[in-house]
Amino acid sequence: NVCLPMPPESVAMILFQLDLKGIACSRGSACQSGSTKASHVLAEILNKDAIKKPSLRFSFSIYNTKEDVDYVIETLKG
């Protein structure tokens, strides 16, 4: 899993644009799923400002290729 804090004002649009490009991701961390509290895991690794930002979560497996990951990165840069 990769969890990236995003600017609050643009996270919904980024999520929408990624979906249009065939990239599946989720909002928030897996540890936070179904909870209104911040993830205790992310609280240990992120600073206080980053933990307050909404985040996008990408999950990868052994079936993803380097090209898949590169596509996500290039799309996020785009």
C-alpha pair distances (Å), 37 with each of 12, 46, 78: 19, 15, 31
Task: Say which of 31, 42, 43, 51 is annotated catalytic.
Answer: 31
Please, are residues 59 and 33 in contact by the beta-carbon 8 Å criterion? no
What does the block give as tokens for 5? 């804090």
User: In the 8-state DSSP scheme, what is residue 37?
Assistant: S
- Concerning whether 25 is annotated as a catalytic residue, the answer is no
**Which amino acids are annotated catalytic?**
31
